[in-house]
A and B are shown apart, each in its own frame.
Chain A
Amino acid sequence: MRKLLNTLYVTTEGAALRKDGENLVAEVEGAERARVPFHMLGSVVAFGPVLVSPALMGACAANGISLVLLDRVDRFQARVEGPVAGNVLLRRAQYAASEAPDDIVRSLVMGKVANQRSVLLRHLRDHGEGDGQEPAEAISAVCERLARILQRLAAGLTGLDHLRGAEGEAAQLYFSVFGHLVRSPDPEIRFLGRSRRPPLDPVNAVLSFLYTLLTHDCRSAAESVGLDPAVGFLHRDRPGRPSLALDLMEELRPVLADRLALSLLNRRQLRARDFETRDGGGVLLTEEGRRTVLTAWQERKREERLHPFLDEKAPLGLVPYLQAQFLSRHLRGDLDAYPPWFWK
Chain B
Amino acid sequence: MNGSRSRLLVFQIGAILVLITFVFRLWHLQILKGDYYKVLSEKNRLRLVQTEALRGIIYDRWGRPLVRNTPSYTVSITPAYLPEEEGERRQVLRRLSELLFSSGKSAALASPVRASPDLEALVKEGMKNPYKPIVVKKNVDRETAFFLQQEHLSFPGVQVEVEPIREYISSTLFSHIIGYTGLIPKEWEASYREKGYDLSRDKVGLTGIEFVYEDYLKGEKGQKLVEVDASGREIRTIGYERAPIPGYSLYLTIDWDLQAMVKEALEEGMKKAQSPVGVAIVMDPRNGQILAMVSLPSYDNNLFARGISYEDYSKLEKDPNHPLVNHAIIGQYPTGSTFKIVPATAALEEGVITEKSYLNCEGILWVPNQYFPDDPTLAQPFYCWIHRYGKGHGPINVIDALVHSCDIFFYKVAGGFKDFRGLGLDRLVYWARLFGFGEKTGIDLPGESKGLVPTADWKRLNYGEVWVLGDTYNMAIGQGFFLATPLQILNATAAIANGGTLYRPKLLYKMVDHEGNVVEEFKPEIIRTLPASEKTIALVRRGLRETVIRGTAWRTNWPDIPVAGKTGTAEFYGPRGPKGDLPTHAWFTGFAPYENPKIALVVFLQGGGGGSENAVPIAAKIIRYYFDYLDWERQP
Q: Real complex partners, A and B? A: no
